[in-house]
């Protein structure tokens, strides 16, 4: 496995892979790898001949007061996991390599970035789309893999690729979960034992919503109220948003008709956790 820290060395490796007619799969990450990331790598391995993982804690997607400084960076362990997973190349640049002369060029996706996480994290998606556009330009993948766990991010990236005619396909992979249903996340490390136990209620509330939809409830206010009741039993859970929106446009809907995204963000002690499911009526 090659480990590249510079853009020029990635370009060289990709050129060589292309010469050998390899299909290139790309998994962008911020490191602190876990089974969720591994599931994306596995999917990429299945579809592609040459798999590139980037490990980059992107400063431009963190707001003031967020966890950029304390975000875990266990690089050696991450490289080991990538090696074992059969990754061909890891791109792990320093911030100065990615943002050489500062940054005055941004990629912005409108509308889809207004609700949900866009509302509580102003500037976040601008940082995500900009870094992904840069990474796509550096890596030149045929396919890039994203997790359903960050549903809004995946939708926003897919739209950016479509609107800017970027020559790659976005693949969205299912959310990997702990045995109690909690979505696996690098930020779960911030939880103490009690908070970790309570965190399982997030997925329980989503599952409750799924069961209600399956039983015929389509009124989004009623569904959200039931979910809030479930989460209300845990005083440590502070809901940031709980929304049921159209799964493609992310617009609010009074009644589910077709595919809907049930998405939530909550604070639990020092951690901000997000999760979602798709339901259909
Ligand atoms: P991150 O390192 O948190 O920026 O995530 C890198 C990629 O892994 C993103 O596409 C995430 O959506 C995806 N990811 C993170 N957690 C999970 C999970 N539990 N299941 C599936 N994909 C995930």
Return the CATH number at 258: 3.30.1300.10
pLDDT of 21 reads 87
In a domain, 41, yes or no: yes
Residue 200 within a domain:
yes
Shared domain for 169 and 190, answered yes or no, is no
The confidence score (pLDDT) of residue 254 equals 97
- For the stretch 27-59, pLDDT in tens is 999 999 999 999 999 999 999 999 999 999 999
Does any domain span residue 83? yes
Q: How far is the CA of 169 from the centre of ligand 1 (A)?
A: 17
Which residues surround ligand 1 with Cβ inside 6 Å? Answer: 29-30, 36-37, 39-40, 146-147, 149-150, 173, 175-176, 183-186
Which among 146, 173, 200 is the end of a domain? 173
Over 90: is that where the pLDDT of 117 sits? yes
* Phi/psi of residue 269, nearest 5 degrees: 60, -130
Please indicate, yes or no, whether residues 42 and 112 belong to a single structural domain of this protein.
yes
In this structure, the answer to whether residues 227 and 94 fall within a common structural domain is no
Looking at 125, 145, 173, the residue that finishes a domain is: 173
What are the residues whose beta carbons fall under 8 Å from the beta carbon of 189, sequence distance 6 or more? 32, 72
If asked whether residues 133 and 196 sit together in one domain, one would say: no
H, E, C per residue of the chain: CEEECCHHHHHHHHHHHHHCCCCEEEEEECCCCCHHHHHHHHHHHHHCCEEEEEECCCHHHCCCCCCCCCCCCCHHHHHHHHHHHCCCEEECCCHHHHCECECCCCCCCCCCCCCCHHHHCCCHHHHHHHHHHHHHHHHCCCEEEEEHHHHHHHHHHHHHHHHCCCCCEEEEECCCECCCCCECCHHHHHCCHHHHHHHHHHHHHHHHHHHHHHCCCCEHHHHHHHHHHHHHCCCCEEEEEEEEEECCCCCECCECCCEEEEEEEEEECCEEEEEEEEEEC
How many Å lie between the centroid of ligand 1 and the Cα of residue 150? 7
Q: How many structural domains compose the chain?
A: 2
- Edge to edge, the sheet with strand 237-246 lists 237-246, 259-268, 271-280
Pocket test for ligand 1, best of 27, 28, 29 (most atoms within 8 A of CB): 29
Residue 22 alpha carbon to ligand 1 centre in Å: 25
Q: Mark whether 71 and 204 lie in a shared domain.
A: no
State whether 36 and 101 are in the same domain. yes
212 and 157 inside one domain = no
User: Domain span at residue 106?
Assistant: 2-173
pLDDT digits (tens, 9 = 90+) for 180-197: 999 999 999 999 999 999
**What is the per-residue pLDDT for 114?**
98
Whether the full predicted model's pTM is greater than 0.85, yes or no, is yes
Residue after which a domain boundary falls, among 152, 173, 194: 173
Catalytic site positions? 37
Q: Could you read off the pLDDT of 162-172 as tens digits, one per residue?
A: 999 999 999 99
Bridge partners of residue 245, in order along the sequence = 252, 261
Q: What is the CATH number of the domain that holds 48?
A: 3.40.50.620
Per-residue model confidence (pLDDT) at position 36: 98
Q: Are residues 192 and 86 in the same domain?
A: no
């Amino acid at each position: 496995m090659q480990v590249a820290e510079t853009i020029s060395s990635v370009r060289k490796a990709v050129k060589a892979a292309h010469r050998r007619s390899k299909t290139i799969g790309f998994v962008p990450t911020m490191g602190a790898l876990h089974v969720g990331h591994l599931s994306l790598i596995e999917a990429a391995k299945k579809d592609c001949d040459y798999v590139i993982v980037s490990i980059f804690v992107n400063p431009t997607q963190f707001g003031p007061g967020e966890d950029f400084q304390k975000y875990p960076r266990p690089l050696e362990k991450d490289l080991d996991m990538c090696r074992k997973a059969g990754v061909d190349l890891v791109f792990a640049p320093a911030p100065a390599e990615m943002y050489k002369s500062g940054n005055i060029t941004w990629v912005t996706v409108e509308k889809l970035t207004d609700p949900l996480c866009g509302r509580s994290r102003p500037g976040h998606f601008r940082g995500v789309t900009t870094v992904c556009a840069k990474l796509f330009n550096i890596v030149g993948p045929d396919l890039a893999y994203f997790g359903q766990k960050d549903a809004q991010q995946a939708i926003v990236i897919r739209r950016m690729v479509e609107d800017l005619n970027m020559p790659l396909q976005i693949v969205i992979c299912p959310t990997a979960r702990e045995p109690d249903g909690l979505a696996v996340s690098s930020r779960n490390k911030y939880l103490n034992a009690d908070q970790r136990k309570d965190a399982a209620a997030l997925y329980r509330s989503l599952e409750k919503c799924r069961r209600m939809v399956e039983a015929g409830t389509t009124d989004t206010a009623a569904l959200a109220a039931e979910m809030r009741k479930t989460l209300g039993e845990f005083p440590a859970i502070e809901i940031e948003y709980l929304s049921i929106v159209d799964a493609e446009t992310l617009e609010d809907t009074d009644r589910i008709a077709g595919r809907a995204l049930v998405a939530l963000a909550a604070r639990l002690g020092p951690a901000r956790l997000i999760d979602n499911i798709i339901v259909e009526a």
